[in-house]
Amino acid sequence: MKTTYVEEEESLQDLWAKLLARESASPETFSMGTLETVKLMSKDDAAIFSQLTKCMSSYNNKVFLFNQEDLYEKYGITYENLMRIEELGLICISPFLSLKIKFPEAERAAIYTKEALTSHKANG
């Protein structure tokens, strides 16, 4: 039988327990693929993803990852980290779906989806 990281790491066991409890309370909250990915994540993968969530925003039930090097640097996220999390299937990186627009006093990220072009003030 294959051992998963969840079985080896107590902190991941806690996360797994919370996910399963939420899934039990509200079925189909998470896809089977998401649950399988979390089950197989290493402690390092979980730590990277946790930091990466600090660079995300949600709008209209969609989650957006800001493409800002200063945020990544602030939270210790490298290109290799992004590639690893994309490899796990937790994010999808596409350089064609984001655009940075700089204003004199603030920086906003303009994000295009099939539904709309949205603008968000950058966190920082």
pLDDT digits (tens, 9 = 90+) for 17-30: 887 888 888 888 77
Number of domains the chain contains: 1
54: domain range?
5-92
Residue predicted with more confidence, 120 or 44: 44
Q: How many CB atoms lie within 10 A of CB 116?
A: 11
Higher pLDDT, 104 or 86: 86
Q: Report the alpha-carbon distance of residue 49 to residue 55 in Å, rounded.
A: 10
Q: Which amino acid is at 19?
A: L
- Candidates 71, 68, 64; CA nearest to 112 is 64
Q: What is the pLDDT of residue 116?
A: 46
Is 78 within a domain? Answer: yes
Q: Please report, as a single letter, which amino acid is at residue 69.
A: E
Is residue 44 domain-resident? yes
Tally of CA atoms within 13 A in the half-sphere of 82 that contains its CB: 19
Is the pTM value of this prediction over 0.85? no
